[in-house]
Amino acid sequence: MAALGSGCLVLSLAICAYGIVAAIYGVRSKRMEFTDSARRAVYALAGVLTVAFAVLELAFLRNDFAFNTVADTSSRTTPALYRAAAVWSSQEGSLLLWAWLLSLWSSLALFLMRRRLRDVCAYATAVLLGFGGFFVSLMIFYATPFATTSPAPAEGAGLDPLLRFPTMVIHPPMLYSGYTLCTIPFAFAVGALLTRRIDAEWIAATRRFAFAAWLCLGVGILLGARWSYSELGWGGYWGWDAVENASLMPWLTATAFLHSLMIQEKRGMLKVWNASLVLATGSLAIMGTFLVRSGILNSIHAFGGATLGVPFVALIGVMVAGSIYLVVSRRAALRSEHRLDSLLSRESAFLANNLVLVGLCFVIFWGTYFPLISEALNGTAASVGPPWFDRYTVPLALILVLLSGIGPLIAWRRATLASARRNFAVPLGAAAIAVLALLAAGVPGRPLAIALFACAAFVFASIGQEFARGVRVRREIAHEAVPAALLSLVRRNRRRYGGYIVHVGIAVLFVGVAASSSFQHATEVGLSPGSSTRVGAYTVSYVRPTATVTPAADAAHTGSSMSLGAVLDVSKRGHHVATLRPSQGYYDSGEPTQGSVGQLIGGQAVSHISMSEGALRDVWSAIAPNISTPALQRIVDAGNRTLPPQDAPIALGYLARQYLQHPPAAQFHFIVSPLVMWIWIGGAIVFGGGLIAVWPPPSAVVRRVSVRARPRSAGDPVRA
């Protein structure tokens, strides 16, 4: 079966080569049948890669350890869901996932565009097949998923326990969908620049794909943060790690693009800027994919010694150089039709938003690639830590939130100063009240956090005001009840009000971030059963220890041999708040030198954190039990001496009993973070609002404005 997979890869490469040639020949000689054939080549690529992916998936599900990838990352004891997800936990498998998702999204995009923008689509097809061919070549020549060993090993190494969480199952496909979707607007931009057709039709098409990329990438990033927070024994959701930053950067440029595209649509301005943003987003997405695999940067995910660096650098070089060449050589077609009318206009606010977003991207880019820069400049690879990132990103984020509240208050083209003053009154008042209320409530003085809360209050009041006024307008026209008016208001003006909802979500998200980072209480302490400690306003008591021993064949479990933990009682001012059950799972190390029993628990230990989530705060706990006490060690040593490997699990029962009867003090890590839940809720609001903004309106709502009306004179009633 592996031969079928390899055959699919070779066939895919042939399809890509044919498609590129056919597309370019077709568009240059104006023979539509060839561009159609090239588009179908993309469909064929999707089909063939689906077969290849299915072959690999089946190998994992059937435990076919002849496949090297399966033997390296899966085992008979890995639960089925994680076996299926293990496909993309390795280099080779993740390359296949990337190529497959690229082919699927490209097929969809080209299918939707099959009757429009024909010339642009032809070049876009060639570019997308170029990417496909690149990734397929990587698989064929560097890291094939279909390498086999014969005879097949009897058992595999197993999936890393750290990845055996549902969030980690969905995070890579979501993120890869985001990355691959970023290449589609890139391809269409290349096509549009080559054919000099940066017009309204291109705008409408690109916006859809850019939004899809923005959505998937954003959800992928949020899921990654959620996984880090709720599963890892670290208790944080963002660490400014290189791979986190690598996924954030294209998302920032995509956000900027979605905004500035509106200015190009309305005023014919910023064409060079938009083209550059789209090309940058695609390039950053490829750079992000490259970072994880190349080992050029020290990070949690990236490793030294991988072989894929050189081809990726070549691809990125071609993309960047090509982009610059295209923009410069087509600058005549990218000339602005108008200039900015007035500084007090929504266009200005959008421009400012763009500058802040690109500024953020630059800061993150600099900090992420700094080790390479410093190495080039003075020989040592030095890296900057989270405090440096925070110092620059926090103020920029503050300005961004503030802008998202200012934008709704001013009109397009040119706002009237008097009305602007009127409109700002309530939101400014809300911000002032928020600051006073926080200070009066005795919130400790953290100026940046309080500034952010003030900006968020500004945003809520500003957008609330917009909704209120819009509902009033709607009721004047259609005399509907308030809820119906609200619904029809949003339905008829999806882009505007969907966008407002997104901004509310962003403000909520940042409120959660500010509160949970500035006002957190954390403690690391050793506790014995019966003792307790204070964390912030809460008292945490260690009630009793827990111990579970799992037979290796229990497929429903995450596969740990034994797990030791504690039952904790959390109370506030004497009232019981929550019961937490953190534990530490011990896994098989597979090293016989540790002894038959020692090997069962000598592998990686994975912390299973326990937390109580609430609207106002999260109480998070992790435990690191002490398994090297003399009493426990005696049991392990005795087991090593007397028990053969197949009977070794008996000793685990003794270990567990010993731990329960005479529990040693364990190390605990407690964190009380306010308002963390609002980060996830804010994220959900952002993406929900985004969906509302791009949802196509029902055709009945698209009203034809009668344009040939006579010129208006003062005193004419405004027609609805």
Q: Please report, as residue ranges, which positions from 640 to 699 form the binding site for another protein (by CB under 8 A).
A: 667, 669
Q: How far is the CB of 455 from another protein (least distance, A)?
A: 19
Determine, following the binding rule CB under 8 A, whether residue 487 of this chain makes contact with another protein: no
User: Of 518-537, which residues contact another protein (CB under 8 A)?
Assistant: 524-526
Binding pattern for the stretch 193-232 against another protein, x by CB under 8 A and - elsewhere: ----x-xxx-xx---------------------------x
Q: How far is the CB of 74 from another protein (least distance, A)?
A: 13
Q: Which stretch binds another protein (CB under 8 A): 36-44, 96-104, 512-520, 656-664?
A: 36-44
Residue-by-residue DSSP string for 435-477: HHHHHHTT----HHHHHHHHHHHHHHHHHHHHHHHHHHHHHHH
Looking at the Cβ atoms of 146 and 186, the one nearer to another protein is: 146
Member of 208, 414, 475, 572 binding another protein (CB under 8 A)? 414
d(CA 127, CA 263): 27
Burial of 395 (0-12, 13-18, 19+ CB in 10 A): middle
d(CA 333, CA 345): 26
Range list of β-strands (E), 529-580? 532-535, 538-549, 562-572, 575-580
Q: How far is the CB of 496 from another protein (least distance, A)?
A: 7
> What SS3 state is found at 321?
helix
Task: Tally Cβ neighbours within 10 Å of residue 719.
Answer: 8
Determine, following the binding rule CB under 8 A, whether residue 356 of this chain makes contact with another protein: no
Binding pattern for the stretch 329-348 against another protein, x by CB under 8 A and - elsewhere: ----------xx--x-----
Looking at the Cβ atoms of 571 and 640, the one nearer to another protein is: 640
Size of the residue set binding another protein (CB under 8 A): 134
SS (H, E, C) 16-45: HHHHHHHHHHHHHCCCHHHHHHHHHHHHHH
d(CA 444, CA 438): 9
Question: Could you tell me if 500 and 647 are in contact, meaning their C-beta atoms sit under 8 angstroms apart?
Answer: no
Question: Could you tell me if 279 and 327 are in contact, meaning their C-beta atoms sit under 8 angstroms apart?
Answer: yes
Q: Which stretch binds another protein (CB under 8 A): 176-184, 302-310, 535-543, 652-660?
A: 302-310
User: Of 417-476, which residues contact another protein (CB under 8 A)?
Assistant: 418-420, 422-423, 466, 469-470, 473, 476
Of 251, 217, 210, 192, which Cα lies nearest the Cα of 109? 210
User: Of 539-598, which residues contact another protein (CB under 8 A)?
Assistant: none
- CB contact burial 335-346 (16+ within 10 A = b; e otherwise): eeeeebeeeebb
Determine, following the binding rule CB under 8 A, whether residue 25 of this chain makes contact with another protein: no
Determine, following the binding rule CB under 8 A, whether residue 34 of this chain makes contact with another protein: yes
Q: How far is the CB of 439 from another protein (least distance, A)?
A: 30
d(CA 394, CA 221): 18
Member of 374, 541, 550, 571 binding another protein (CB under 8 A)? 374
User: Of 131-170, which residues contact another protein (CB under 8 A)?
Assistant: 144, 146-150, 160, 162
User: Of 268-287, which residues contact another protein (CB under 8 A)?
Assistant: none
Cis ω before 151 (30° cut-off from 0)? yes
Determine, following the binding rule CB under 8 A, whether residue 382 of this chain makes contact with another protein: yes
Determine, following the binding rule CB under 8 A, whether residue 300 of this chain makes contact with another protein: yes
Q: How far is the CB of 435 from another protein (least distance, A)?
A: 26
User: Of 166-195, which residues contact another protein (CB under 8 A)?
Assistant: none
Strand pairing partners for 673?
Answer: 618
Q: Which stretch binds another protein (CB under 8 A): 270-278, 498-506, 620-628, 680-688?
A: 620-628
Looking at the Cβ atoms of 46 and 222, the one nearer to another protein is: 46
Q: How far is the CB of 133 from another protein (least distance, A)?
A: 15
Of 391, 675, 682, which Cα lies nearest the Cα of 514? 675
Of 143, 100, 96, 132, which Cα lies nearest the Cα of 23? 132
Member of 28, 116, 534, 634 binding another protein (CB under 8 A)? 116
Member of 234, 541, 567, 613 binding another protein (CB under 8 A)? 234
